[in-house]
Amino acid sequence: MSTIELSDRQKEIVKIVKKNGPIRGQDIASKLDLTRAALRADLAILTMLGYLGARPRVGYFYSGKSIISLLVENIRKIKVGDVQSVPVVMNEKQTIYDAIATLFLEDVGTLFIINDKGFLEGVVSRKDLLKSLLGNNSAQNMPVSIVMTRMPNIHYITENEDVMEAAEMINEYQIDSLPVVEVVDNEGLNLKVVGRISKTNITRIFVELGEE
The beta-strand segments (E) located in 2-119 are 52-55, 59-62, 89-91, 110-114
Bridge partners, residue 61, by sequence: 53
How buried is 195 (Cβ within 10 angstroms: 0-12 exposed, 13-18 middle, 19+ buried)? buried
**Domain 8-65 belongs to what architecture?**
Orthogonal Bundle (1.10)
**Whole-number Å distance between alpha carbons of 94 and 113:** 9
Q: Give the model confidence (pLDDT) of 49-94 as tens digits.
A: 778 888 888 899 988 766 666 677 777 889 999 999 999 999 999 9
**Whole-number Å distance between alpha carbons of 71 and 160:** 20
Whether the model clears a pTM of 0.85, i.e. scores above it, the answer is no
Q: What is the pLDDT of residue 1?
A: 39
CA angle 67, 165, 117 (to 5 degrees): 150
With 60 as the cut, is the pLDDT of residue 2 above it? no
Q: Which residue type sits at 74? A: N
With 90 as the cut, is the pLDDT of residue 195 above it? yes
Same fold, 8-65 and 76-211: no
- 3-state secondary structure at position 137: coil
- 3-state secondary structure at position 193: strand
With 60 as the cut, is the pLDDT of residue 25 above it? yes
Q: How many CB atoms lie within 10 A of CB 98?
A: 17
When mean pLDDT is compared across 71-75, 104-108, 174-178, the lowest value belongs to 71-75
Looking at per-residue pLDDT, the higher value among 161 and 138 belongs to 161
- In 48-72, which positions are buried (b, 16+ CB within 10 angstroms) versus exposed (e)? ebbbbbbeeeebbbbbebeeeebbe
**Whole-number Å distance between alpha carbons of 81 and 161:** 8
Q: Which residue type sits at 150? A: R
Looking at per-residue pLDDT, the higher value among 121 and 136 belongs to 121
CATH number attached to the domain at 76-211: 3.10.580.10
For the chain, domain boundaries: 8-65, 76-211
CA angle 198, 200, 202 (to 5 degrees): 75
Bridge partners, residue 79, by sequence: 162
Looking at per-residue pLDDT, the higher value among 147 and 72 belongs to 147
Looking at per-residue pLDDT, the higher value among 54 and 119 belongs to 119
Write the CA distances from 212 to 21, 74, 188, 195, integer angstroms.
27, 11, 38, 26
